[in-house]
Amino acid sequence: MKFIDGGVCAAKGFTAGGIHCGIRKNKTKRDLALILSEAKASAAAVYTTNLVKGAPLAVTKMHLMDGKAQAVICNSGNANTCNANGIEVAKEMARLTAETLGISEEDVVVASTGVIGQPLDITPIKNGLPALKESLGADNGSDAAEGIMTTDTVKKEVAVSFEIGGVKCKIGGIAKGSGMIHPNMATMLVFITSDVAIAPEMLQKALSTDIQSTFNMVSVDGDTSTNDMVCVLANGMAGNKEIIAEGEDFDTFMKALNTITVHLCRMIAGDGEGATKLLECRVTGADDEKTAKTVAKSVICSSLTKAAMFGADANWGRVLCAIGYSGAEVDVTKVDVSFESAKGIIPVCENGAGIEFSEDIAKEILLEKEIIINVGLNSGDYSSTAWGCDLTYEYVKINGDYRT
């Protein structure tokens, strides 16, 4: 497994592009992105469980019923959610994209992100599609990554190369996500591309399995978005023997997919709205996997813990508190907690009780940009990891006037 450049264009047969078409007022920001596969690809997706769903998700779900897709069109600046004509606009986005590219309308994945409840005018998208098509290139994955950003401060893209059955394969992805992130079955907007030959049902199985320990373990602010979607396209152009069942080849693909998703999870959490630190909670010694996941996510979601990490305050009691109300069956008299960063590691709690530690050393450790909260339950052999960020003044500022 080797990290490579290229993002969503790293895999054979994929091109991408991004332009400013006029949805966003800021003309320096791209607001329309496109990903195209040279060949029709196996496709899989997972979606937000929020009952309020963006219209593009409904259209995409319908288009992917046959497990195939060839292009992804995504706009930023407007989520196309809670609009009376939302479905009509999403369908028109797909139709116009298909017409521009000369492919089937049913092979277009549609996505939107931005403000909820504002009508989306199709005109700038329609007028921008010719330029968007011209922007397509094998080196333009970063432009697509920029085109899907909202309050993100950095582009999120990654790619790796690996071998299946002696054949060189690649997989890459881009993501957007900074706020309104507390997923369940999906998260943010994530688009992943691969040249692996894999049957649609196996691709869906790989994605649905992977997100349980990756994207479902990310939380920035406790709010589940209405437009969350993770979509994977695999066009088979690497030339490996098609993966149609579980086995060594499927396991290799799963490992590659997980490498991509974990990397994107960390980038999303670290770029949370107003965030100054990436938080990672590592839970070990749980009785079962569910307990480990529940505890890890409860700690990451704790607003008081997040605020303490912002202030570099080793307030371990807030970690114990989050474990206690998580709903997991935990023997709190066995719990150990330590804080860790590039500056070192410091135990702060053993067997559910405080221990002496240097506040100065603890602060030095917690002033780093990446903090690990280690939680040892000491009751079993299961473990889990969750990702989040600190809670800062800037988060309130961003969301206080997000729409205006």
The residues assigned a catalytic role are 187
pLDDT of residue 214: 93
Residues 130 and 234 in one domain: yes
The pLDDT of residue 117: 86
Residues 6+ apart with CB under 8 A from 339: 314, 316, 345, 346, 348, 362, 365, 366, 371, 372, 373, 374
Full pLDDT tens readout for the chain, 404 residues: 999 999 999 999 999 999 999 999 888 999 999 999 999 999 999 988 777 778 999 999 999 999 999 999 999 999 898 888 999 999 999 999 999 999 999 999 999 998 888 899 999 999 999 999 999 999 999 999 999 998 888 999 999 999 999 999 999 999 998 765 566 544 479 999 999 999 999 999 999 999 999 998 988 766 666 668 899 999 999 999 999 999 999 999 999 999 999 999 999 988 888 889 999 999 999 999 999 999 999 999 999 999 999 999 999 999 999 999 999 999 999 999 999 999 999 999 999 999 999 999 999 999 999 999 999 999 999 999 999 999 999 988 887 876 66
Q: Residue 370: how many CB atoms within 10 A of its CB? A: 13
259 and 385, same domain (yes or no): no
Cα separation of 319 and 69, whole Å? 44
Structural domain of 206: 2-270
- Say if residue 266 is in the same domain as residue 283: no
What pLDDT, on the 0 to 100 scale, is given for residue 228?
A: 82
Residues 246, 297, single domain; the answer is no
Burial group, residue 311, by CB count within 10 angstroms (0-12, 13-18, 19+):
middle
Q: Are residues 291 and 254 in the same domain?
A: no
Contact predicate 377/294, CB 8 Å:
no
216, 236, 270: which is the final residue of a domain? 270
Residues 224 and 129 grouped into a single domain: yes
Give the total number of structural domains in the chain. 2
The residue with tokens 């309130």 is 396
Question: 211 with 261: CB under 8 angstroms?
Answer: yes
Instruction: State the CATH number of the domain containing residue 354.
Output: 3.10.20.340
Together in a domain, 181 and 258: yes
Residues 283 and 382 in one domain: yes
- Domain match, 234 and 378 both: no
Domain ends where: 240, 270, 300? 270
- Terminal CA-CA length for the chain: 45
Dihedral sign computed on CA atoms, order 96, 101, 107, 113: negative
CB neighbour class for 295 (10 Å; exposed up to 12, middle 13-18, buried from 19):
buried
pLDDT at 116: 85
- Provide the pLDDT for residue 65: 97
Residues 6+ apart with CB under 8 A from 6: 138, 139, 141, 159, 170, 172
DSSP β-bridge partners for residue 344: 341
What pLDDT score does 287 carry? 98
Judgement on whether residues 232 and 354 belong to the same structural domain of the protein = no
- Final residue in a domain of this structure, among 206, 235, 270: 270
Tokens 């492919």 correspond to 103
User: For the whole prediction, is pTM greater than 0.85?
Assistant: yes
Grouping H, G, I as helix, E, B as strand and the rest as coil, residue 56 is helix
Confirm if 93 and 100 have CB atoms less than 8 A apart. Answer: no
CATH code of the domain containing 124: 3.60.70.12
